[in-house]
Amino acid sequence: MAAFSFTVNGARQTVDAPPEMPLLWVLRDLLGMTGTKYGCGIAQCGACTVHLEGAAVRSCSVPVSVAAGKRITTIEGLAPDARGRALQRAWVELDVPQCGYCQSGQLMSAAALLARNPSPSDAEIDAAMDGNICRCGTYQRIRAAIHRAAGEA
């Protein structure tokens, strides 16, 4: 066990954890931030996607020791960002979610995409979003919602 400090959605956090403990479980079980979801534990499904220094990462596969000293954004911190808000609005307007469980991760991947490519093509969206599984089959709506948010932001 050791102490690790980082910022989550702008707030400084310090946790006492084994260095190999994944960021996902630090967020969910130590910090009580349950918006980030567990789906596979091996970076195959994308449900746990957060931003580490602005880049989309699978928090299930990022040890807390790697996150130490870094800036983390989770789904709970998406709204303050204009692009994040535009995505959330588009998700609501196009009724994207069904069960909704994967959507935190989908939104975080989409936000990272728009941050580096404000106007992505279908192919660029597919490439950026291919690591995020949705079992309810909302892919078509996600793609449309990203286009809509890109047009607004």
Partner 1 sequence: MPTDVTRREFVKAGVALSGLVVALQLPAYARTAVGALARRGSGATLSTSAFLQIADDGTVTLWLTKSEMGQGVRSSLPLILAEELEVAPEGIRVEQASADPKFGEQFTGGSSSVSGLWQPLRTAAAQAREMLVGAAARTWGVPAADCAAEQGTVVHRGSGRRLSYAALVPIAAVLKVPDSPRLKDRKDFRLLGRSSHRLDTPPKVDGTARYGLDVRLPRMVFACVARCPVFGRPLTGYDAAPARAVPGVLDVVPLEAGEIVAGGFWTYQLPGAVAVVAENSWAAMQGCKALSCRWETDGGVDSASLARIFRDRAAQTGVLGRNDGDAGAALSRAARTVEATYDLPFLAHATMEPMNCTADVRAGACDVYAPTQFPTGAQQVAEALTGFSPAAVRVHTTIMGGGFGRRFEMDWVIDSIRVSRAVGRPVQVVWTREHDMQHDNYRPASHHVLRAGLDHRGRVTAWTHRVVSPSVIAWHAPGSLTPGSDAAAGEALDGAAELAYAIPNLRVDYCAVSTPVPVGWWRSVYASQNCFANEAFFDEVAHASGRDPLELRRELLADSPRHLKVLDLAAEQAGWGGSLPSGRGRGIAIHKFFSDTIVAEVAEVSAGDKGLRVDRVVCAVDCGFAVNPDVITSQMEGGIVYALSAALRGAITLEGGRVRQSNFNDYPVLRMSEMPRVEVHIVESDEDPHGVGEPGVPPLAPAVANAMRMATGRPVRRLPVAG
**Contacts to partner 1 by CB under 8 A:** 1, 18, 21-22, 25, 28-30, 32-42, 44-45, 47, 74-76, 78-79, 87-88, 91-93, 95-104, 107, 125-127, 129-143
Phi, psi of 73 (to 5 degrees): -120, 135
Q: In whole angstroms, what is the distance from residue 99 CA to residue 84 CA?
A: 20
Burial of 130 (0-12, 13-18, 19+ CB in 10 A): exposed
CB of 54 to partner 1, least distance (A): 18
CB of 12 to partner 1, least distance (A): 20
Nearer to partner 1, 55 or 79 (CB): 79
Nearer to partner 1, 30 or 115 (CB): 30
CB of 139 to partner 1, least distance (A): 4
Q: Provide the terminal-to-terminal Cα distance of the chain, rounded to the nearest Å.
A: 43
CB of 147 to partner 1, least distance (A): 13
Nearer to partner 1, 119 or 140 (CB): 140
| Dihedral class, residue 130 (left if φ above 0, else alpha if ψ from -120 to 50, else beta) | alpha
Nearer to partner 1, 82 or 99 (CB): 99
Residue 82, Cβ neighbours under 10 Å: how many? 11
